[in-house]
Amino acid sequence: MKIRTGFGYDVHQLREGLPFWLGGIQIPHTHGALGHSDADVLIHVICDALLGAANLRDIGFHFPDTDPQYKGIDSKRLLSEVVRLLRERGYTIGNIDSTVCLEQPKVNPHIPAMQATLAEVMGIPADDISIKATTTEKLGFVGRQEGVAAYATVLIVKP
């Protein structure tokens, strides 16, 4: 059995008037993340961690922001494609551990819905997806509410 780990990190600016997508769901807020796709920072770090674990480069390699077909795309579609790439290579997802860094809005009330959505997209149990949230105690770009950051580690397995 081959066991591999991967790590992902991403940030997005927050801008007034944009929809805020996180973990595959839209969260009501005055500001949303700016990006070429729907800017779902949580899905992006999970994609990067999974791709890295399988040594398949990164999200920008597979879905470049210079390609108009990805403009405004639902990041769940990107995640689905990443999972397909892993399965083609014989990997299954063991677990995902992630952290979202954000001052506002509060993320904790939305975690169960995000877990359910991500589990459905990836075809894994929601219990295998850990999502945690923290602030930066008003320090840095996250603390000033200028952006959102996220981290993820994953475990993938090939029998």
Strand-pair category, 147-158 with 2-16: antiparallel
Annotated binding site for a divalent metal cation: 10, 12, 44
Does residue 102 sit in helix, strand or coil?
A: coil
Phi, psi of 60 (to 5 degrees): -65, -30
Phi, psi of 2 (to 5 degrees): -110, 125
Confirm if 158 and 24 have CB atoms less than 8 A apart. no
Give the dihedral sign, CA 53/58/61/62.
Answer: positive
Annotated binding site: 10-12, 36-37, 44, 58-60, 63-67, 134-137, 141, 144
Residues 97, 107, 26, 140: what is their CA dihedral angle, to the nearest 10 degrees? -90
